[in-house]
Amino acid sequence: MRLEENVPLAPLTTIGIGGPARFFFRATTVDEVREAMAWARHRACAVFVLGGGSNLLISDDGFDGMVVHVDLRGVTLESQHEHVMVKVAAGEEWDSFVARAVKSGWAGIECLSGIPGSTGATPIQNVGAYGQEVSETIARVEAYDRETDRVVWFTNEECRFGYRSSLFKNVERERYIILSVTYRLLRGGRAAVRYPELQRYIQEHAISDDDLPAVRGAVIAIRRRKGMVLDPADPDTKSDGSFFMNPVISPAQYEEFARHAADAPHFPSGSDVKLSAAWLIEHAGFQKGYTHGGVGLSTKHTLAVVNRGSGTAAEVVGLVKMIQERVREKFGVEIHPEPNFIGM
């Protein structure tokens, strides 16, 4: 095994925070994933699986175990009729695949443009943005089962997708390592323009929903003005993107909430009601650019917690708890972080 020791993890994350990994291994094949797991089992060593590093906060002390960086590559076009079936290895960069799909005229993931990270992370979080979620197009997921030492396949239904959730994130957390994801995209389809902000943008710029490249450009433009597109020249992008999930509450809870915040934006979410975490944070007293030690909120978007350059995980956790407590006290609503906390 090409095993390394005491490897700094901060440079492998988009927020640039985190101590070293005691052991580090980059797996480029399924056999290497198996080999790494066998090594860790034999030594009773804790394992953390690292993808693109875009949705996690690593402890300042690092990870006292083995970090396995899944770097499997390859995009395979399995069939192309009315729908296109494309198998994408877990280590492929997500936005590069979105760009390829859009260029090829395959609709279904165009509104997920500009999101950093690896393809293997998309089913775990059920990644979504601007009215679209990957659960709409995922046909199956290939994964390594750490309990049985077998490669297994899941259908879309078996993934148990929900809002920013899945079997892999909630029910069987840490049991499976995603190896590949197969997407079912609509050949020559129109963009799914459902999100009000995106609808306004394409109307203002006279963009047609059958022009996938233009819709992708619109999504990236909106994300960029919020500091949600990685850019070394923009300090607001040194973050994990949207740090808090929009809370979903019952109709009864909303009725109580609306008595104190009738003007708060809200959206239907099945039989429940989704609130805007950004609105809650701002109206709890945290404005854009708020600073807490070496970290703070983006100057463009209150959902993003950014590293000002010398930030620590402890400072991020402190800020997050402060925001949660203030929102709870003022609105009686719980908001939860989206990133995974590692080594804490």
Active site residues: 164, 242, 338
For the chain, helix (H) and strand (E) counts, in that order, are 8, 21
User: What's CA 152's distance to the chain center, in Å?
Assistant: 23
Cα–Cα distance for residue pair 247/228, rounded to 1 Å: 20
Q: Which helix or strand (DSSP H or E) is residue 151 part of? A: strand 150-155
Please answer whether residues 99 and 216 qualify as being in contact, where contact means their C-beta atoms are separated by less than 8 angstroms: yes
In terms of Cα–Cα distance, which of 337, 89, 50 is closest to 174? 50
Cα–Cα distance for residue pair 64/3, rounded to 1 Å: 15
Side chain identity, residue 61 = D
Cα–Cα distance for residue pair 335/170, rounded to 1 Å: 17
State the residue for tokens 């620590």.
312
Let me know the angle formed at the C-alpha of 76 by 177 and 49, rounded to the nearest 5 degrees.
15
Cα–Cα distance for residue pair 109/138, rounded to 1 Å: 10
